[in-house]
């Protein structure tokens, strides 16, 4: 270990099965904690004194979150905090993104979870801040004369289906179970843009979240009045701060909140 080499003393007790700090290691860890606290408080005081926030914030998220929330947040911060820069990283696997968050490879992560009666407990080391609830809708081609309004209509139409491990696939599975129908699965797709291409071409209906439909021409799609009864919650996740959030992280969260409101989504309190 490089630090042990530099100080010339063992900092980790490796004689037992469970790795623990030596007395010297515990002392350095305690001092490091005090230094971290002082640096965080100094940064917060300087920000309060000058009104300036600077630095870089790395945010990981998925496509729709980046396109419709994080890109607008970058534009907001360019006006409110021109010395603060967002570094956006697209990560499809939330587990990988959260691992990067824990190890310092990211400052914020945007995650999604299906809103149901069995929410996952928050990890003790992470702060999860609900952002928006994004409703799933039954979307059909705008060219169809028939917009599904009954269970019989759901049976009669072709469907574009996602795998059950994806949010759309999970909601569609619940939809078929809720209304007790066996769908005609015409196509299997995972990417929102691919699904929308098939819908606008008149090739099938699908279940999609509203955020994925922001840029679509309203004349090319229609919405069924049959409710899915499901939505996905988008969360902002960051490391749980021991001494309060860094000013740059707080500024980024505020900008993302504002971007969500400008998109017409009510933020979740």
**CATH assignment at residue 226:** 3.40.190.10
Q: β-strands 108-114, 231-239: how paired? A: antiparallel
Distance between CA atoms of residues 109 and 58, nearest Å: 9
Pick the closest to residue 136 from 89, 170, 107 (CA basis).
170
48, part of any domain: no
Count each helix (H run) and each strand (E run) in the chain, helices first: 9, 11
| Domain encompassing residue 203 | 134-231
87, part of any domain: no
pLDDT at 17: 62
255, part of any domain: no
- Total domains, the chain: 2
pLDDT at 53: 79
pLDDT at 116: 74
The long-range contacts involving 73-81, CB below 8 angstroms and separated by at least 24 positions, are: 73/252, 73/255, 73/256, 73/258, 73/259, 74/255, 76/255, 76/258, 76/259, 77/251, 77/252, 77/255, 80/251, 80/255, 81/52, 81/53, 81/54, 81/251
267, part of any domain: no
174, part of any domain: yes
Distance between CA atoms of residues 112 and 95, nearest Å: 11
250, part of any domain: no
CB atoms within 10 A of CB 125: 10
From the CA atom positions of the chain, what is the Rg in Å? 24
Beta strands in the chain (DSSP E): 12-13, 20-21, 55-61, 84-90, 108-114, 126-141, 158-161, 184-188, 206-209, 221-223, 231-239
pLDDT at 181: 94
Residue 88 exposed, middle or buried by CB count within 10 Å (0-12, 13-18, 19+): middle
Pick the closest to residue 130 from 57, 237, 212 (CA basis).
237
pLDDT at 39: 46
pLDDT at 45: 46
pLDDT at 194: 96
Distance between CA atoms of residues 249 and 257, nearest Å: 12
Query: What are the pLDDT tens digits along the chain (269 aa)?
Result: 555 565 556 656 666 666 566 776 566 556 555 544 544 554 544 444 345 578 999 999 999 999 999 999 999 999 999 999 999 999 878 889 999 999 889 999 999 999 876 667 778 889 999 999 999 999 999 999 989 999 999 999 999 999 998 999 999 999 999 999 999 999 999 999 999 999 999 999 999 999 999 999 999 999 999 999 899 999 999 988 765 568 899 999 999 999 999 988 767 76
100, part of any domain: no
pLDDT at 66: 96
- In degrees rounded to 5, what are phi and psi of residue 62? -105, 175
């Amino acid at each position: 270990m490089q630090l042990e080499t530099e100080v010339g003393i063992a900092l980790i007790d490796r004689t037992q099965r469970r790795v623990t700090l030596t007395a010297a290691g515990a002392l350095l860890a305690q001092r490091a904690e005090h230094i971290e606290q002082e640096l965080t408080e100094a940064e917060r005081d300087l920000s309060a004194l000058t009104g300036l926030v600077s630095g870089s914030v790395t945010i990981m998220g998925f496509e729709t979150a980046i396109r419709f929330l994080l890109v607008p947040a970058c534009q907001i911060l360019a006006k409110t905090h021109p010395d603060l820069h967002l570094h956006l990283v697209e990560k499809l696997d939330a587990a990988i993104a959260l691992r990067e968050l824990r190890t310092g490879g990211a400052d914020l992560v945007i995650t999604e979870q299906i809103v149901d009666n069995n929410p996952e407990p928050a990890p003790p080391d992470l702060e999860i801040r609900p952002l928006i609830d994004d409703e799933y809708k039954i979307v059909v081609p705008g060219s169809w004369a028939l917009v599904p309004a009954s269970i019989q209509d759901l049976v009669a139409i072709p469907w574009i289906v996602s795998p059950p491990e994806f949010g759309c696939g999970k909601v569609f599975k619940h939809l078929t179970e809720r209304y007790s129908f066996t769908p005609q699965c015409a196509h299997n797709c995972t990417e929102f843009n691919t699904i929308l291409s098939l819908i606008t071409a008149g090739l099938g209906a699908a279940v999609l979240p509203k955020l994925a439909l922001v840029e679509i021409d309203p004349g090319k799609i229609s919405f069924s009045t049959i409710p899915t009864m499901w939505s996905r919650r988008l969360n902002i996740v960051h490391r749980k701060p021991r001494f309060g959030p860094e000013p740059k992280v707080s500024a980024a969260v505020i900008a993302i909140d504002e971007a969500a409101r400008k998109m017409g989504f009510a933020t979740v309190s």
